[in-house]
């Protein structure tokens, strides 16, 4: 009995040779990625210091290292699916499912995923904000027209003394009276205002005035002018660098938003890849559970026949029926897990409305890439530091912070500006046609020049804004250091996980082969009356668990490769993604 237990425990490692034989073909790494996705793909061969070795080569080396003979076993007959409807208690059928390569799933996710649809709006908003800032120096054409009408009665006004060339009027004191009259004044002006990138403003305008008086002394006068003015700050708000700061910040924000949108696309694709391999694992586990169920049915059929022939005790038939019931439960759970995995994948593709009937289920067409790579860790880390989108976005934010700090430093200066205005005036005319005559001959003009100074008493508000901008940049610098450490940790963790899962695949493959041998041996001894059906079913269970272990190890290896590519800011390069 102890020897038999020893045989059972030592034969735990064998039997998924068939299951992972269907996982062997290797797809070419591609470079065709959507505009939202980085143009560079993660290609493991670029970081491998030696040529990649496939799983069969690795197993061969492992066998040679152990100095044992290669195990040869044909489990085709034992694992063959039976055609009976009784042996198929679940509805999921891979042959009826829709076959999709991982590139097709990616394309659907990029086209339909709602998170990406939301993220794609952000670059449009950022571009609109940039256009708004760039338009701050747009020239402004202005015009106005105003008419004033006054109907005034006669009214006494001030007492005045005359100084006149006429001696009879000189030094005479008189009282002025405003006569009863109607005055209508019409003002019209048009011009252009030009904001300068140096912070100043230039205004060119041409006003026209018509003053008509109806009363004791009628008059109708027209006057026009050509006016030019310029105002230029000399300290605060002076210079192109200060006045174009908002445009440069908007440009950096636009680039940052584009990177964030690409990063969102990468996250969705990486999550979709993982969901795809989750569906692959669910199908593989369902296949294993089906094989377990069908083998248990075969055992039940065999036991019934032996009981009828009197070669086996009737109790063995009860044990075989219990084994069938146990595997039916595992089969139902596996199908439920497949439905959950399908729903998760369809969630990323935004196709939740599709019913998960046999005709609408997804069957993975892309096989796992079971290749062993020896990665150059330093090269991976170096490329990740230059290609990781989070770090690039932080660099853009830091550049925007530097521009903002320079602007805030300028705002702490006093407001000191120079203002100049010149007007070329026309002579007074009695009609509109003559109002512009002799306007540019320099006979009549007015001009002014002035300086303006303004500064808060403590200037505390501007100094506080500058301090806030400096601290924001310091915070972002600390965030960059933390992000850099996080990227290094993610890459090193992903590399260790890849090594770990590869070793798991090798160990699980050996366990499957040995478990298959052990099951065959136990079944033969049962036919010879040396084992009970309970012991046979125990070895069958170990075989199934070994197969499940290999399925999980293979899936985890693919997911670890996805994590490594994401850690470098790229994606595993499957071809066929073309998103417009």
Residues 252-262: tens digit of each pLDDT: 999 999 998 98
pLDDT of residue 574: 57
Average pLDDT of span 325-335: 88
DSSP tag of 235: S
Average pLDDT of span 308-322: 83
Find the radius of gyration of the CA atoms of the chain.
44
Q: How confident is the model at residue 505 (pLDDT cuts 50, 70, 90)?
A: very high
Tell me: pLDDT of 351 over 80. yes
Q: How far is the C-alpha of 355 from the C-alpha of 343, rounded, in Å?
A: 9
Provide CB contacts within 8 A for 235, sequence distance 6+.
413, 414, 415, 416
Tell me: pLDDT of 492 over 50. yes
Q: What is the DSSP string of 3-55?
A: HHHHHHHHT-SB--HHHHHTT---PPB-----TTS-SS-B-GGGGBSS--EEH
149, 152, 156, 158: CA torsion to nearest 10: -10
Average pLDDT of span 319-339: 88
pLDDT of residue 232: 95
Q: Which residue has the higher pLDDT, 175 or 90?
A: 175
Provide CB contacts within 8 A for 249, sequence distance 6+.
133, 400, 403, 404
Average pLDDT of span 552-561: 93
Of 89-93, 145-149, 174-178, 296-300, the range with the highest mean pLDDT is: 145-149
Q: How far is the C-alpha of 521 from the C-alpha of 530, rounded, in Å?
A: 11
Tell me: pLDDT of 362 over 70. yes
Sign of CA dihedral 543, 549, 550, 552: positive
Burial of 483 (0-12, 13-18, 19+ CB in 10 A): middle
Tell me: pLDDT of 137 over 70. yes
Q: How far is the C-alpha of 443 from the C-alpha of 14, rounded, in Å?
A: 110
CA distances from 37 to 34, 375, 390, 474, 572 (A): 5, 24, 14, 30, 11
Closest CA to 268 of 571, 472, 578, 511: 571
Tell me: pLDDT of 196 over 70. yes
Give me 166's structure tokens.
Answer: 């006429």
- Lowest pLDDT segment from 68-72, 90-94, 316-320, 371-375: 68-72
- Residue pair 259/393 in contact (Cβ under 8 Å)? The answer is yes
pLDDT of residue 129: 93
pTM score = 0.72
Task: Classify the phi-psi angles of 540: left when phi > 0, otherwise alpha if psi is within -120 to 50, otherwise beta.
Answer: alpha
Quote the CATH superfamily of domain 2-129+249-399+470-567. Outer membrane efflux proteins (OEP) (1.20.1600.10)
- Residue pair 551/19 in contact (Cβ under 8 Å)? The answer is yes
Q: Which residue has the higher pLDDT, 11 or 347?
A: 347
Tell me: pLDDT of 4 over 80. no
pLDDT of residue 64: 66
Q: Which residue has the higher pLDDT, 192 or 178?
A: 192
Q: How confident is the model at residue 396 (pLDDT cuts 50, 70, 90)?
A: very high
pLDDT of residue 407: 94
Tell me: pLDDT of 18 over 60. no
Tell me: pLDDT of 573 over 80. no
Q: How far is the C-alpha of 246 from the C-alpha of 231, rounded, in Å?
A: 21
CA distances from 238 to 148, 178, 235, 242, 250 (A): 40, 50, 5, 7, 20
- Lowest pLDDT segment from 55-69, 91-105, 221-235: 55-69
Tell me: pLDDT of 411 over 90. yes
pLDDT of residue 311: 81
Question: CB neighbours (10 Å) of residue 150?
Answer: 10
Q: How far is the C-alpha of 268 from the C-alpha of 548, rounded, in Å?
A: 28
Q: Which residue has the higher pLDDT, 108 or 27?
A: 108
Convert the pLDDT of each residue in 435-451 to its tens digit. Answer: 677 777 777 888 999 99
DSSP H helical segments within 309-356, as ranges? 315-349
Closest CA to 324 of 301, 358, 345: 301
DSSP H helical segments within 158-244, as ranges? 240-243
pLDDT of residue 65: 58
Phi and psi at residue 185, to the nearest 5°: -115, 125
Tell me: pLDDT of 281 over 60. yes
- Lowest pLDDT segment from 83-97, 242-256, 432-446: 83-97
Average pLDDT of span 178-194: 89
Average pLDDT of span 305-332: 84
Average pLDDT of span 57-69: 61
pLDDT of residue 569: 83
Enumerate the domain spans of the chain.
2-129+249-399+470-567
Mean per-residue pLDDT of the chain: 81
Tell me: pLDDT of 90 over 60. no
pLDDT of residue 210: 86
Average pLDDT of span 106-135: 89
Give me 110's structure tokens.
Answer: 């990029």
pLDDT of residue 354: 62
Q: How far is the C-alpha of 337 from the C-alpha of 288, rounded, in Å?
A: 13
Q: How far is the C-alpha of 535 from the C-alpha of 531, rounded, in Å?
A: 6
Provide CB contacts within 8 A for 196, sequence distance 6+.
137, 202, 232
pLDDT of residue 92: 64
Residue 327: how many CA atoms within 13 Å on its side-chain side?
Answer: 33
**Strands, E assignment, 66-166:** 98-100, 140-152, 155-161
**Strands, E assignment, 285-429:** 362-364, 371-372, 415-425
Q: How far is the C-alpha of 301 from the C-alpha of 314, rounded, in Å?
A: 13
**pLDDT > 90: percent of the chain:** 36
Of 150-159, 435-444, 468-477, the range with the highest mean pLDDT is: 468-477
b or e along 468-480 (b: 16 or more beta carbons within 10 Å of the residue's beta carbon)? ebeeebeebeeeb
Helix, strand, or coil (residue 191): strand
């Amino acid at each position: 009995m102890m020897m038999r237990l020893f045989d059972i425990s030592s034969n735990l490692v064998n039997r998924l040779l068939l299951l992972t034989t269907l996982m062997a073909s290797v797809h070419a790494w591609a470079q065709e990625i959507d505009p939202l996705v980085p143009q560079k793909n993660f290609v493991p061969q670029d970081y491998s210091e030696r040529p990649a070795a496939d799983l069969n080569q690795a197993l061969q080396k492992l066998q040679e290292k152990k100095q044992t003979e290669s195990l040869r076993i044909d489990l085709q007959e034992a694992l063959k699916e039976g055609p009976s409807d009784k042996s198929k208690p679940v509805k999921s059928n891979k042959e009826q499912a829709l076959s999709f390569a991982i590139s097709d799933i990616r394309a659907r996710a990029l086209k339909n995923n709602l998170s990406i649809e939301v993220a794609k709006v952000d670059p449009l908003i950022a571009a609109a904000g940039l256009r708004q800032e760039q338009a701050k120096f747009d020239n402004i054409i202005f015009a106005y027209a105003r008419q004033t009408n006054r109907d005034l009665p006669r009214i006494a006004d001030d007492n005045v003394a005359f100084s006149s060339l006429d001696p009879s009027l000189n030094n005479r004191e008189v009282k002025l009276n405003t006569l009863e009259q109607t005055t209508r004044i019409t003002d019209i002006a048009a011009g252009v205002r030009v904001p300068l990138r140096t912070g100043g403003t230039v205004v060119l305008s041409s006003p026209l005035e018509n003053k008509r008086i109806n009363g004791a002394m009628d008059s109708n006068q027209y006057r026009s002018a050509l006016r030019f003015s310029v105002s230029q700050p000399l300290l605060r708000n002076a210079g192109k660098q200060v006045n174009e700061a908002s445009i440069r910040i908007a440009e950096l924000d636009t680039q940052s938003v584009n990177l964030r949108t690409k990063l969102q696309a990468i996250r969705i694709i990486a999550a979709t890849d993982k969901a795809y391999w989750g569906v692959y694992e669910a199908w593989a586990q369902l296949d294993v559970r089906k094989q377990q169920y069908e083998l248990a049915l075969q055992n039940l059929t065999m036991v019934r026949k032996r009981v009828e022939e009197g070669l086996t005790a009737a109790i063995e038939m009860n044990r075989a029926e219990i084994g069938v019931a146990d595997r039916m439960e595992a089969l139902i759970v596996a199908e439920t897990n497949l439905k959950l995995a399908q729903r998760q994948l369809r969630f990323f593709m935004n196709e939740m409305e599709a019913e998960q009937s046999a005709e609408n289920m997804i069957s993975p067409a892309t096989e796992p890439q079971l290749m062993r790579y020896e990665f150059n860790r330093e090269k991976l880390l170096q490329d990740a530091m230059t290609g990781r989108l989070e770090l690039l976005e932080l660099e853009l934010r830091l550049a925007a912070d530097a521009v903002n700090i320079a602007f805030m430093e300028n705002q702490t200066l006093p407001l000191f500006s120079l203002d100049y205005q010149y007007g070329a005036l026309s002579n007074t005319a009695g009609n509109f046609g003559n109002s512009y005559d002799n306007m540019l001959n320099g006979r009549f003009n007015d001009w002014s020049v002035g300086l303006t100074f303004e500064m808060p008493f403590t200037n505390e508000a501007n100094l506080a804004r500058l301090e806030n901008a400096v601290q924001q940049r310091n915070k972002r610098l600390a965030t960059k250091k933390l992000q850099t450490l996080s990227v290094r940790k993610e890459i090193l963790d992903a590399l260790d996980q890849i090594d770990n899962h590869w070793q798991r695949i090798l160990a699980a493959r050996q366990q499957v082969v040995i478990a298959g041998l052990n099951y065959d041996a136990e079944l033969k001894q049962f036919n010879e009356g040396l084992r009970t059906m309970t012991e046979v079913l125990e070895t069958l269970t170990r075989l199934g668990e070994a197969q499940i272990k290999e399925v999980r190890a293979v899936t985890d290896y693919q997911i670890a490769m996805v994590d490594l590519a994401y850690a470098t800011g790229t994606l595993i390069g499957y071809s066929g993604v073309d998103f417009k």
